Structure 1
Amino acid sequence: MVNYTKERERAIIVGVIFPNQTRTQVEEYLDELELLADTAGADVVCRVYQERERPDPAYFIGKGKAEQIAKIVEEEKIDIVIFDDELSGVQVRNLEGIINCKVIDRTTLILDIFASHARTAPAKIQVELAQLEYLLPRLTGRWRHLSKQYGGIGTKGPGETKLETDRRLVKRKIAVLKRKLSELDNQRKEQRKGRKDIFRIALVGYTNAGKSTLLNALSDADVYVEDKLFATLDATTRIVKLSPTRKVLLTDTVGFIRKLPHHLIASFKSTLDEIVEADILIHVVDISSPNFKEQIRVVEETLTELKTSDKPTIIAFNKIDKLENRDMIYRLSNEYKNAVFISASRGVNIQALKDKISQMIDERYVEVELKFNLSSKQTSNSNAISLIYKFGEVLDVKYEDDGHLILKVKIEKRFLPKISPLIPV
């Protein structure tokens, strides 16, 4: 095992400006990359930019720029160089040959953070699977930053072993992890079956938007909260009381981010299924972020990838206590449907959010009158009436002289197909 240093590493971050991008845009991307590096335990000493028509197949950047970085690495005693774009195994090998220090890309950095923050067995399995699937096509004899020559960022997880020297062993390990995840997925499906009768809501949003803080504010829970990217990875579910007579299940899910590795989305499928099976989504947005609109776009694209973009959604613009220009609230309320403006940490407008949830739940209900012939003694009658009391709210009961029972029921539209076939025409 590698003995990781507890000292923070000194890093250079590298951004490439392609023709369809502006320097300002790439600077914003590197702002986020610097936050990721900080979360992983590195201090960014400097940034390097290069304008290119296309990536260089051998080095991603130009060889001359790589040599320039090598000089900075030597002068500033840099431990790690982090690229904002995904690198191939060949590019990493060639860059390390010139720069003579550890080189990783954004995906490796994100996977490293996930490895550091994984607490439960399912999270650890999901992260290790994502790491192995990302590493498999990049295994080469000189994939040096996974060897014992280096520690620190980019080496956590399967890289600590010599798995990279044997593709067959890696593939075998991937198969084992997938089998374990499948077993866990089946267990979660069984657990979710017991929740079918209660309304389910999932919190989604960009990482560090304040989802866990909002879960705590709505449910009086004690979910771990830290002002870091990807502070929590596991789906956490709590009961939330919207009113004395109405309860819902609220689940906090892993945060999204620009260029979220596809291997992570695939590996975290069982966790993200909480989003797929939710009745309503609450999209939490950090309104104080200068890039919140792009963050909204990233989350919406990820939801589309999960095939959940058509779900009823509340946009909870969080951290309004950090806003200097309150006019933005008025503009956004006109621009976005079902928007609520809150401060989860201060408890501002939490009741308004609960009211909005109740309103959206009510829109999914319908009031119907159902008539049963009690004299017929059909088994379907008793089955239907049992289901009505289980899934709906009986508002009124009438017994008619001819032996008919009339129930006035408020019920979710999704449950009607279960009951209707049991009611005699």
Structure 2
Amino acid sequence: MEQHERVLVAACHLPSQDEERFQSSLEELTSLTETAHGVVDKIVTQKRQKIHQAIYMGEGKIEEIKAYIDERGIELVIFNDELSPGQMNNLADHLEVRIIDRTQLILDIFAQRANTKEGKLQVELAQLQYMLPRIYGQGKNLSRLGGGIGTRGPGETKLETDRRHIQRRIDDIKRQIQQVATQRQQYRKRRKENKAYQIAIVGYTNAGKSTLFNRITNSQSFEENQLFATLDPLTRQVQLPSGFQALMSDTVGFIQDLPTTLIAAFQSTLEEVTEADFIVHVVDASHADHIQHEETVQKHLKELKADHLPMLTVYNKKDLLQDQFIPVTLPAVTISAYDPIDIKRLFDKIEEVLLKEWEPFQTYVPATDGELLHRLSKHAIVRERDFLEEDELYFVKGFIHPEHPLYHQIRKRQ
């Protein structure tokens, strides 16, 4: 069993951050630390007009932290903001324990979570890009304990070798990621050619996306009450109540202040979202900051240029709600991913939203044209299907995506 490190969390509260946002970021940092197998022993905060250029906080506060480290045997200090190479170096000298920042912590969790070749490459790339300007300070930092939170991934030896070796490795990883991204593009292109309708499940980390994905698709996406449980996108086929078939993808969870190195590194993973036709946005309705979480995800969707897609907001974990819940965004459905009746309600709601987006149609199909009937049942939402015996025709009525080739085929028949 992995040993849990004793951690002190340090954060500066700047005028640009309101109290609620600041507290929420501290809670998130504590959850991230626990996810990385650390135990937060103390949180030290300081109100400042701006971050101290050399040591992040004021000298008095750093002395206070040093005294607490010595007294309590703290093994690691995690800073709530990204530290510059100089700050990291100076703090390592002052505090004489391992120092990491929020970005490194998130990178560390990503290193634990990545399972596929692509996921592992993307994490290593992000870690090496982050470490490259910080190598001098990290050498001393890593040699103190040689392991633990913030050191998973590329490994100590790689980080302590010269910059040229790291730069070569970065170039090599970029080439490999490009190859994987090309394969993924070809796979998506085939899906598009087959006119597969694509639904992406998105949401703040730990909102219950993977649990919901597993209940919907009966698949085995990694499911745990931890931040960033899913890093590698999974895609499975689902069938809605009408018989309409779609592909559903589970995606990496969003978080406020996600490191820029990670957004860049995980671009191809997040492309699942940009390629989608429909978004299911899962929100943990029981979380005190669920409105903030919703806004963070919407901001990221805007950055990914996916905010124009039709979307259903799914307020999850209704079994944990104490009071009556009022959705912030519509259309919406409030569910528990563990309740089969709620999963059925979710499917019905997805169809209801699609009906508003799609074009209505009605057509007559000869009884001999079984292939067209089959395609309509798979690619459209069929509301009526009657066999007219005298004419040996099927009367089919429903809704279809206006860009699907079948729509044009039907229009010609009308």
TM-score, L = length of structure 1: 0.85
1:301 aligns with 2:275: no
1:345 aligns with 2:338: yes
Q: CA deviation at 1:296?
A: 0.7
Whether the 8 Å contact between 1:163 and 1:169 is mirrored in structure 2 is no
Whether the 8 Å contact between 2:29 and 2:80 is mirrored in structure 1 is yes
Structure 2 counterpart of 1:289: 287
The structure 1 residue matched to 2:146, chosen from 143, 150, 154, is 150
Structure 1 counterpart of 2:316: 318
| Matched position secondary structure for 1:135 | helix
Partners of 2:279 and 2:180 lie apart in 1 by 24
1:416 and 1:367, CA in 2 relative to 1: closer, same or farther beyond 3 A?
A: farther
1:172 aligns with 2:165: no
Identical residues among aligned pairs (%) = 42
161-170 or 301-310, which deviates more: 161-170
15-24 or 111-120, which deviates more: 15-24
Partners of 1:410 and 1:340 lie apart in 2 by 22
1:24 and 1:391, CA in 2 relative to 1: closer, same or farther beyond 3 A?
A: closer
Whether the 8 Å contact between 1:219 and 1:239 is mirrored in structure 2 is yes
Partners of 1:51 and 1:92 lie apart in 2 by 20
Q: How does 1:227-238 map to 2 (within 5 A)?
A: 227-238=225-236
Partners of 1:156 and 1:28 lie apart in 2 by 26
Partners of 2:176 and 2:144 lie apart in 1 by 28
Whether the 8 Å contact between 1:136 and 1:167 is mirrored in structure 2 is yes
Whether the 8 Å contact between 1:10 and 1:78 is mirrored in structure 2 is yes
The structure 1 residue matched to 2:350, chosen from 357, 364, 380, is 357
Q: How does 1:17-416 map to 2 (within 5 A)?
A: 17-140=13-136, 143-147=139-143, 149-196=145-192, 197-243=195-241, 245-326=243-324, 329=325, 331-332=326-327, 335-347=328-340, 349-367=342-360, 411-415=400-404
204-213 or 26-35, which deviates more: 26-35
Paired amino acid for 1:40: A
| Matched position secondary structure for 2:403 | helix
Partners of 1:58 and 1:146 lie apart in 2 by 20
Structure 2 counterpart of 1:403: none
Unaligned runs of 5+ in 1: 371-384, 399-406
1:245 and 1:21, CA in 2 relative to 1: closer, same or farther beyond 3 A?
A: closer
Q: String of CA shifts for 1:192-246, please: whole Å, max 9, x gaps.
A: 2332222110000011000001011212222221111111211011111212622
Paired amino acid for 1:294: Q
| Matched position secondary structure for 2:240 | strand
235-244 or 256-265, which deviates more: 235-244
Paired amino acid for 1:112: D
Q: CA deviation at 1:69?
A: 0.6
Paired amino acid for 1:219: T
Paired amino acid for 1:266: A
Q: CA deviation at 1:410?
A: 5.6
Partners of 2:232 and 2:78 lie apart in 1 by 27
TM-score, L = length of structure 2: 0.87
Partners of 1:391 and 1:232 lie apart in 2 by 29
Paired amino acid for 1:237: T
Whether the 8 Å contact between 2:139 and 2:159 is mirrored in structure 1 is no
1:225 and 1:310, CA in 2 relative to 1: closer, same or farther beyond 3 A?
A: same
Structure 1 counterpart of 2:368: none
Whether the 8 Å contact between 1:288 and 1:322 is mirrored in structure 2 is yes
Partners of 2:290 and 2:275 lie apart in 1 by 26
Structure 2 counterpart of 1:374: none
Q: CA deviation at 1:23?
A: 4.3
The structure 2 residue matched to 1:11, chosen from 7, 10, 24, is 7
| Matched position secondary structure for 1:414 | coil
1:49 and 1:236, CA in 2 relative to 1: closer, same or farther beyond 3 A?
A: same
1:141 and 1:221, CA in 2 relative to 1: closer, same or farther beyond 3 A?
A: closer
Q: CA deviation at 1:362?
A: 2.7
286-295 or 160-169, which deviates more: 160-169
39-48 or 410-419, which deviates more: 410-419
Partners of 2:137 and 2:38 lie apart in 1 by 27
Partners of 1:147 and 1:18 lie apart in 2 by 32
| Matched position secondary structure for 1:82 | strand
Partners of 2:407 and 2:337 lie apart in 1 by 38
Paired amino acid for 2:116: T
Unaligned runs of 5+ in 2: 364-371, 389-395
Q: CA deviation at 1:143?
A: 4.1
Q: CA deviation at 1:397?
A: 12
1:354 and 1:11, CA in 2 relative to 1: closer, same or farther beyond 3 A?
A: same
